[in-house]
Every structure is written in structure tokens, then in C-alpha cells.
């Protein structure tokens, strides 16, 4: 797959640059609103209007543009008429009044200029730089202790004040914060669905809204004019900074759909093999985003540790868990144990034996005279049955014989997975896309999955699995895991569901968000409220659960999670 080439430069912008001074002078015409959004500086008593149609911003016309040559304000259609009617060069280029973005009226599209981007960058940076600096060393953090996390809730006086602020809308009926649609940029529903889930993951949301990663002060951020080549741009591109910008846009209070074009371009720079407008897999995108955020932040881990942020990145602090794998020799009983980190858990749908795509060589293990629940043939799959299937013991094939250290030869064996440490946010990936190596075909499994809104992960922890396996005969080697009590709660509640509809080669991703005990459907730019039944009957592809009890570190520079 070839990397898409950059679009040709706008000829009208090139002509304007030759006939005018650099656009860097527009910095003094910019101001930065809260949450870092730039706009054109103007008298607050003035209301920009399109002279021909007398459209005021922002109630009637979504966009108003000011001509860079004569400062006349027009809507998009009249801006094109103004550009064609003006004889001199430069009237084709205008600037968005509310968004501080360049627009070519002749081409009908946004254009980009390095000098103008640098002016915006300087304006944003200067607005957030501290007025005074201190050279005194930061105080040493106090001893950390666990403190219950309590979300803010308005008291009766605050609730009454918020209700009276807008007489037409009560506080209880207002849309939840951060609920904003994302424009589809060309088969990017896979990206929008994952971004919506990340935007509302409580620990990740608290991290970015708590200003733990400030994109204007990030050491990796470099003005566009300092990037000599595309390779240099790929080195300095920081997905955490772009994600911070999306958080600012989503929680700015605006309801118009947002276009995550900068985030998409930065991701293309990190994953050039996936840089195209073709449909991608949402799960692969999710893993790719977490990996690249980790790569961006790990270079500054020593700085983060010195500031009390901990010694691992936010992606791992939120999503990373540890799996335990036990392989037991059926001849002598020797068990080999390995541990591996995981960012999510991929689960097979329990579709029984009525499908040619089933695992033919996997034999269910009989424990205490009963077959595992996941081995039973049923037309209804549940998330608990999928987890039971994931953590049950299975006999390995003859081709996968385990080399037993005690027998000093390859023997038949049983393998069992369990969860040693739970993450703050558990992501379950449902394997709906199956590939048959025998029949050389692929298909999507359109199978209903029932999932609970509250989930207890205790039965699938290593401590529970070991106690079920050995009972009271726990050996010293396993005692540390069997008796270990996790610092994190095993009770989870759902907050996001990503679904896939359509066929394997052509489908659509949608995210359902649970906010304030109500469900909202995020279908790219469209956000609507739906009933609980709609979510329960959807074809879940990725499920996101967060721990019911969150803890944060009570120290001078406490982390957000």
C-alpha cells in the first residue's frame, strides 16, 4: 500500500505570498480563547456579518471569512463571488473569523501556510506560558496513599444556579460534557469510533483535562517552519498532543461536529503502511494508537518521573494488564508459567460446533466432572461465557507439544490462561472476523452477544483460577499469586461499546456511550440519544469497562489516575 501523496499547493496562495508580506504579521490580529482555540481579534461589541446576505455569526451562517486584502467579511458563497469579481491578486485568500484558518475562495477549500501556522502556534504558546518562573527545586512528594476517587457533583445551590442560568434548559436535561460528533474524513468511521471511546474513558479523560499533557508545552512539539523534511515531521509528531487538542475541542462546549484531520495526519506519519482512505479495522487502530502514544511519551519518562507522574506512560497506566499462562505436562504434572502484558483481551465468540470456522482441534477440559460453560453448544453467546472459554484449560494439539523440563522431552500438555493484574480500563475485543486456512475464505460472524453493564472479573483472576485448580493444596510456588490481593477493584461497569455493521469488506463502525446513566449513539458527526435495548441488541465489536472504584495518588504532584 503506497502512502498518499500530498495535495498540490494552492496557486492563489502562492500568488498572494509573492505580492504581499509573510502572513506571520497576522499574529497580532489573533487571540486565544479558553481551551486554546485561536480566533481573529475583534471588538466584542462587533458582530461579523456577510454584507450581501446579512448573515450573522454564528447563528445563521456556520462560517464567515474575512478577505486578507480588503478585510471584507463574506459567507462562503459570496466569498467566491468576491474573489472572482476582484481584479487584483490576494482577494481569493481569506481567514475564518471564528477559527483562524486560511481559506481559498477560488478553490473552495482550506489552505495551509507555514508562516500563518507559526503565528497561530506562537499565539497559543504565549497565552499559556507562565508569567513568572522559579528556579527553586520542587518539593519532594509525600508518601503516597490510596484515596477514594469521587467525581464532582453539584450541591443544591450549584444545581439551582446552573438551572437558572438558561431558563429554556434545565441542568438535568443538558447534554453531557464532551459529547460532540466527529466528521468522517473518508472511510474514517473506524477512527471516530475509537476516539469517542477514548474521549470518555474516565482515567484518560481526567489525565488530559487535568493538563497532565499540555500540547503547547510539550518538548516534542515543533513549529511547522522548523520541519525540514517529512521524516523530521514524523519524528516530532506527538499523538498525545493531537489527542489533547481533540479533548479541548470535545469539551469546549461547542456542539458542531469536529474534524480530527490533524490527528489522522499524525497517525499516518507514525503508521505509514496504513496511510490511506481505505477502511481500516477499529481494533488495529486502537492498538496502534496506544503503541504510538507510548512511543511518544517514553522518551520523556525520566522527566515525567521527576515531576511525580510515575514511571510509565498514561496509555499503560490506564489500559495495561498482565496475563498469566500456565502450561502443564499431562505426564508428570510439571507446570511452566509465563507472564505477558496486554492492552486488551481478544475473545472468541461462543458459536458452538455448528460452524466450519470453529476450532476443530481444541478439546474442552473436564474439571470436577463438568464441562466448561464455553464448551456447551448454544445459540446465545454471553460475555461471561466468552471469558470462561478464555480462561478454561485446553489440550494442545499434537503439533504443539510442550517441552517438559522435568521429562526432558516434548509431551502433551494443558494450557490455561488467567488474568494476574487488571487494568483500570478493560477492553474486550470480540473476534467477529474469522479466516479459515482450510477453505481459504473469510467471513464476519453476525452472532448476537449479550453483555452485562456491570461485570465482576474476580472469577477470571489468577488467584481464583489457582484456587479452583488446587483447592486447599496450593503449592508454595503458586501461593504468592493465589493469596495476592489486587490493589484495584474487580468490579467494572461499562461506558462504551463499539459496534460493526455490514459485511467484512465493507462495514460501518458506531460507538455507544453511557453518560449519566443514558446511552448516546455516536455515528460520526451525528450524536443521538438511544434506548438501552438498542445497545443490548447491537453487534458489539469492542467493549470498554472501567473499574467502579478508582484510586488516585495523594501526593504533591498526584497523577490523574
Question: Does 508 qualify as catalytic in the annotation?
Answer: yes
Closest C-alpha among 48, 54, 128, 60 to residue 96: 48
Strand ranges for 477-553 from DSSP E: 491-502, 507-515, 518-523, 526-530, 540-547, 551-553
Could you count the other beta carbons within 10 Å of the beta carbon of residue 219? Answer: 10
Q: Cα separations (Å) of 40 from 37, 64, 70, 536? A: 10, 11, 15, 46
CA distance 459 to 456: 7
**Hey, what's the torsion of the CAs at 161, 166, 169, 171, to 10 degrees?**
-20
Q: Which cell numbers hold the place of 377?
A: 453448544
Question: Does 500 qualify as catalytic in the annotation?
Answer: no
Annotated active-site residue in 312, 365, 508, 555: 508
CA distance 230 to 224: 11
Annotated active-site residue in 104, 189, 386, 522: 189
Q: Which cell numbers hold the place of 342?
A: 496486554
CA distance 39 to 95: 10
Q: Cα separations (Å) of 238 from 136, 197, 262? A: 30, 20, 11
CA distance 280 to 142: 46
The SS3 assignment for 390 reads helix
Catalytic positions are 189, 508
Amino acid at each position: 500500500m503506497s502512502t498518499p501523496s500530498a495535495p498540490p499547493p494552492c496557486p492563489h496562495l502562492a500568488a498572494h505570498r509573492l505580492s504581499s508580506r509573510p502572513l506571520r504579521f497576522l499574529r497580532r490580529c489573533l487571540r486565544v480563547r479558553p481551551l486554546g482555540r485561536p480566533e481573529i481579534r475583534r471588538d466584542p461589541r462587533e458582530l461579523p456579518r456577510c454584507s450581501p446576505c446579512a448573515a450573522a455569526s454564528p447563528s445563521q451562517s456556520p462560517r464567515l471569512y474575512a478577505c486578507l486584502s480588503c478585510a471584507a467579511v463574506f459567507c462562503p458563497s459570496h466569498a467566491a463571488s468576491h474573489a472572482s469579481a476582484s481584479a487584483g491578486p490576494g482577494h481569493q485568500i481569506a481567514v475564518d473569523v471564528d477559527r483562524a484558518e486560511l481559506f481559498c475562495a477560488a478553490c473552495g477549500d482550506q489552505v495551509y501556510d507555514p508562516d500563518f501556522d507559526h503565528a497561530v502556534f506562537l499565539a497559543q504558546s504565549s497565552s499559556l506560558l507562565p508569567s513568572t518562573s522559579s528556579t527553586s527545586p520542587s518539593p519532594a512528594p509525600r508518601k503516597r496513599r490510596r484515596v477514594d476517587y469521587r467525581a464532582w457533583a453539584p450541591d443544591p445551590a450549584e444545581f439551582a444556579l446552573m438551572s437558572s442560568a438558561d431558563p429554556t434548559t434545565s441542568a438535568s436535561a443538558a447534554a453531557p460534557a464532551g459529547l460532540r460528533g466527529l466528521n468522517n474524513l473518508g472511510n474514517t468511521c473506524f477512527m471516530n469510533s475509537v476516539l469517542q471511546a477514548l474521549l470518555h474513558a474516565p482515567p484518560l479523560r481526567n489525565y488530559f483535562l487535568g493538563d497532565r499533557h499540555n500540547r503547547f508545552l510539550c518538548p516534542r512539539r515543533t513549529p511547522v517552519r522548523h520541519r525540514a523534511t517529512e521524516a523530521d515531521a514524523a519524528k516530532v509528531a506527538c499523538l498525545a498532543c493531537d489527542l489533547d487538542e481533540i479533548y479541548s475541542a470535545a469539551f469546549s462546549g461547542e456542539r458542531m461536529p469536529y474534524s480530527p484531520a490533524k490527528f489522522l495526519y499524525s497517525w499516518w506519519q507514525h503508521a505509514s503502511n496504513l496511510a490511506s482512505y481505505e477502511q481500516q479495522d477499529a481494533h488495529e487502530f486502537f492498538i496502534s494508537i496506544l503503541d504510538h502514544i507510548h512511543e511518544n511519551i517514553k522518551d520523556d519518562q525520566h522527566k515525567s518521573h521527576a515531576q511525580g507522574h510515575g514511571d510509565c506512560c498514561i496509555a499503560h497506566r490506564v489500559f495495561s494488564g498482565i496475563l498469566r499462562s500456565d502450561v502443564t505436562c499431562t505426564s508428570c504434572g510439571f507446570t511452566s508459567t509465563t507472564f505477558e502484558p496486554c492492552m486488551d483481551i481478544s475473545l472468541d465468540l461462543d458459536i458452538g460446533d455448528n460452524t466450519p470456522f470453529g476450532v476443530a482441534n481444541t478439546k474442552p477440559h473436564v474439571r470436577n466432572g463438568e464441562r466448561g460453560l464455553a464448551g456447551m453448544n448454544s445459540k446465545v453467546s454471553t460475555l461471561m461465557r466468552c471469558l470462561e472459554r478464555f480462561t478454561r484449560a485446553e489440550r494442545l494439539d499434537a503439533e504443539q507439544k510442550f517441552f517438559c523440563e522435568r521429562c526432558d522431552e516434548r509431551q502433551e500438555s494443558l494450557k490455561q490462561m488467567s488474568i494476574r493484574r487488571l487494568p483500570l480500563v478493560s477492553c474486550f475485543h470480540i473476534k467477529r472476523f474469522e479466516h479459515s486456512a482450510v477453505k481459504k475464505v473469510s467471513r464476519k460472524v453476525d452472532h448476537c452477544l449479550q453483555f452485562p453493564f456491570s461485570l465482576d472479573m474476580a472469577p477470571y483472576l489468577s488467584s481464583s483460577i489457582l484456587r479452583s485448580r488446587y483447592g486447599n493444596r496450593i503449592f508454595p510456588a503458586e501461593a504468592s499469586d493465589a493469596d495476592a490481593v489486587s490493589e484495584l477493584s474487580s468490579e467494572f461497569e461499562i461506558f462504551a461499546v463499539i459496534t460493526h455493521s455490514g459485511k467484512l469488506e465493507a462495514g460501518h463502525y458506531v460507538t455507544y456511550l453511557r453518560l449519566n446513566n443514558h446511552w448516546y449513539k455516536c455515528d460520526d458527526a451525528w450524536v443521538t440519544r438511544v434506548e438501552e435495548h438498542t445497545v443490548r441488541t447491537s453487534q458489539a465489536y469492542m467493549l470498554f469497562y472501567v473499574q467502579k472504584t478508582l484510586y488516585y495518588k495523594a501526593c504533591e504532584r498526584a497523577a490523574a489516575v
